[in-house]
Structure 1
Amino acid sequence: MPLTPDSVHAAIGRETASLAERLWEIALDLHAHPETAFEEHRSAALLGKELEAAGFAVERGVAGMPTAFTAAAGSGAGPRVALLLEYDALPDLGHACGHNLIAGAGLGAALALHRALRPIEGTLLVVGTPAEEGGGGKVKEVEAGVFDGVDAALMFHPGVYSWSTAPLTAQVQYTVGFHGQAAHPTGNPTEGRDALAALIRLFTALDGLQRRLPEGSHVQGIVTDGGRATNIVPAYAEGRFGLRGATGTDLDALISELTRCAEGTALATGTRAEVEQASARYEHFRDNEVLSRVFAGHLRRAGITVGDPSPGVFLGSSDIGNVSTRVPAIHPFVAILDPDASDHTPEFAAAAAGPRGRRTMLAAAEALACTAADVLLTPGLADSAWADLRRRAEAGG
């Protein structure tokens, strides 16, 4: 009897239910042993072992990162679908962004689809993506070619909203260092060129800039080096600035503004400014509407409806944006807390180990697996997803 999408969807539902207890055990294990960016050795080993035991071919240490991995199954001929697993935690807060649920859902989707769809014509690829919280694991994987040939990159994120797509901005960090001339404030003050005063002046200029930035753009800085002694005019001072833009174009404009302000401040204060990129750059997320509609339809069967994002609300940044510039991708949010709460809080960390977190994870696992099955089985769906990505790129979105 030939496989049909409906028969595979039904089988995925049964397999997800049979895997539920083990998936929750793994999600709770990750939650109980949080590991921060690039330190996720235990988490990556646990997830890789589960996939290997299920018959996936696991490659560890991909893209030069010890805690990154891929796991593949299928014939290799046909569409290529990637399920993305995040598993890094936040310093001091643990899994207050719910990455244990992302890993559990992605793992569950892979295992359920692998059981339900035999043989897999095409490729089912599971990508372990470390260091989303600031390290940019997916950025490194994109640059290393991990997503080359992928027709659909699928993941979900727990949150306080249930939205079909993620309004995620482009983001990068820069350092600005001012080089001045040390002096004694009472002995030879006129010989000094106060680097810290220049840095403070830059903060003032950026505060004025902040007031006229477009929606979705933002700059926030901290002083990382302000001198060593109160009785010495600092010869060097440095700040670190987080920049966000609703799009990559907006971010480029903000980087230019930062550079212009720094150079103007240096000219006015007799110092020299150095402006340097200090983090991986996260691109803004480009939702694939074709795949998002498919996922939303499958999630609806579990009683969860995802709507459109609220205008003017942005949910931070993620390295999934870099994936979405290269291949069709989805990153829906599904609520595990009410909208008056927030992630990156102890309350959210508790919810990521609570009953609503479990229900959401399992519903997302089934919907992700069904979406992946549709890409593998439905003629033309991958082509439609690519056409949507090209349309957005041509429109500058």
Structure 2
Amino acid sequence: MSAGTDLAGAVEALRPELSALAVALYDEPEIGFEEHASVARIAALLDAHGVSPEVGAFGLDTALRATVGDGDGPHFAIIAEYDALPGIGHACGHNIIAGIAVGAFLAAAPVVESLGGRLSLIGTPAEENGGGKEHIIRAGGFDHVDAAGMVHPSSGSGTTSILGQRTTGVRRVAVTYHGRAAHAAGAPWLGRNALDGAVTAYQGVAQLRQHILPTDRIHGIITDGGAAPNIVPERAAALFYVRSAEVKTLRELTDRVVAVLEGAALSTGTRAEIEVDPVPPYLPLQTNVALTERWARALEARGREIPPPPVVPPQGGPSTDMGNVSRFVPSIHPSIGLGGPDEVFPHNAAFADLTVLPAALDALVDAAVALASAAVDYVADTELRAAVAAEFAAAGGRYRWA
């Protein structure tokens, strides 16, 4: 019996528990850094299979770490996410990600251990709102990891190509304008309108959008517009997301946005209090093709077709803190379709409902088998490890945001 067959059988045996986990997370969604019930469910499932996880790892209450195997062997980390979105629950499918990760870890763990390697399951909170993976990197959680991988669900029946999902980096820029209150009708000349600062900033950013790279994105909202119409607002605030496809251009675009915000204060006689990176920045994803090919090969063995990459790469794209991991260790982040109509896209409430349908749970099992296979291949195959390392080095090697 082949290792691939063993892994498939192990994941299939786990199907009822993995499906129940995905449904339970769907039924009780928790937002970032508040995933207490979610991480407890994952820990309980690991405990039931003889693995003792650490909950509260890396100084984060809802992070998790479980490791099996030899401390000196090749070390592969399987990444789990389990936070939800406010109001629309698991509309990004992190309940599926958690099921895939747990299934792959439990299936691959005994094989990796027998090969003299090491396998970790790292549960990462707050992908949506807090950059949990960057916090874990800063805490040293990936210092001794050699490669990492996770799988993200997508809409429709297709998956991404072996190049993985295209993402952009994102930085948050928060600004508060401080002015001077006055009676808006009786003595407006005594005031300095902080809302004018925020509106001028918003308009300036909108004008900047005409002169940025096709892969760049900037979007924002005004989060505070004052207290009452008859009071000149003494405080107003806005929050902008700045996205770019490369680390260098992400820094450059952020500087241009900050200049716009400072200019708005100058033109309105207000003071700008600017905070860059209130949440750790998310870096553009760097997919390791050599490793992703092994995932793709194993997925195709499950009878799933992987379409070729588009002739013209998509412009822009979402962001993930898995990008930070991918710049720190060789990583994969492919996606798998859950079935259903293509227009049911992540970050739509209908996508959360899709994640608990039979087709989605079938996809969970297939993706878990493929991820387990990629992890085992990495530990077992010295030539693959060399190819993965060479590709990572050619892309610039380990990078830490500073």
Do Structure 1 and Structure 2 share a fold, with TM-score over 0.5? yes
Query: Aligned partners of 1:194, 1:283: CA distance in 2, in Å?
Result: 36
Match of 1:3 in 2: none
Identity %: 37
Q: 2:305 aligned with 1:308, yes or no?
A: no
Structure 2: unaligned runs, 5 residues or longer: none
User: Does the aligned pair in 2 maintain the 1:57–1:73 contact within 8 Å?
Assistant: no
Query: Aligned partners of 2:204, 2:353: CA distance in 1, in Å?
Result: 40
Q: Summarize the alignment of residues 232-311 of structure 1 with structure 2, pairs less than 5 Å apart.
A: 232-277=231-276, 278-306=278-306, 307-308=308-309, 311=313
Q: 2:81 aligned with 1:80, yes or no?
A: no
TM normalised by structure 2 equals 0.93
Cα root mean square deviation, aligned? 1.9
SS in 1 for 2:329: coil
Match of 1:380 in 2: 383
Query: Aligned partners of 2:336, 2:254: CA distance in 1, in Å?
Result: 32
SS in 2 for 1:124: strand
Query: Aligned partners of 2:20, 2:115: CA distance in 1, in Å?
Result: 27
SS in 1 for 2:284: coil
Shift of 1:244: 1.1
Letter in 2 for 1:273: A
Shift of 1:129: 0.9
Match of 1:50 in 2: 45
Match of 1:106 in 2: 101
User: Does the aligned pair in 1 maintain the 2:93–2:152 contact within 8 Å?
Assistant: yes
SS in 1 for 2:2: helix
Q: 2:117 aligned with 1:142, yes or no?
A: no
Query: Aligned partners of 2:110, 2:390: CA distance in 1, in Å?
Result: 30
Deviation per CA, 1:73-112, whole angstroms, max 9, x where unpaired?
A: 0122210000111111112211111111111111111111
Query: Aligned partners of 2:231, 2:24: CA distance in 1, in Å?
Result: 52
Q: Structure 1 residues 117, 229: closer, same or farther in 2, change over 3 A?
A: closer
Runs of 4+ in structure 1 over 6 Å off? none
Query: Aligned partners of 1:232, 1:348: CA distance in 2, in Å?
Result: 43
Q: 2:123 aligned with 1:128, yes or no?
A: yes
Match of 2:2 in 1: 7
Deviation per CA, 1:104-150, whole angstroms, max 9, x where unpaired?
A: 11111111112445524111100011111111111111111111121
Query: Aligned partners of 2:305, 2:355: CA distance in 1, in Å?
Result: 20
Query: Aligned partners of 1:190, 1:32: CA distance in 2, in Å?
Result: 55
Query: Aligned partners of 2:49, 2:317: CA distance in 1, in Å?
Result: 35
Query: Aligned partners of 1:312, 1:118: CA distance in 2, in Å?
Result: 40
* Corresponding residue to 1:40 among 35, 39, 42: 35
Structure 1: unaligned runs, 5 residues or longer: 1-5
Query: Aligned partners of 2:172, 2:100: CA distance in 1, in Å?
Result: 30
SS in 1 for 2:176: strand
Shift of 1:166: 1.2
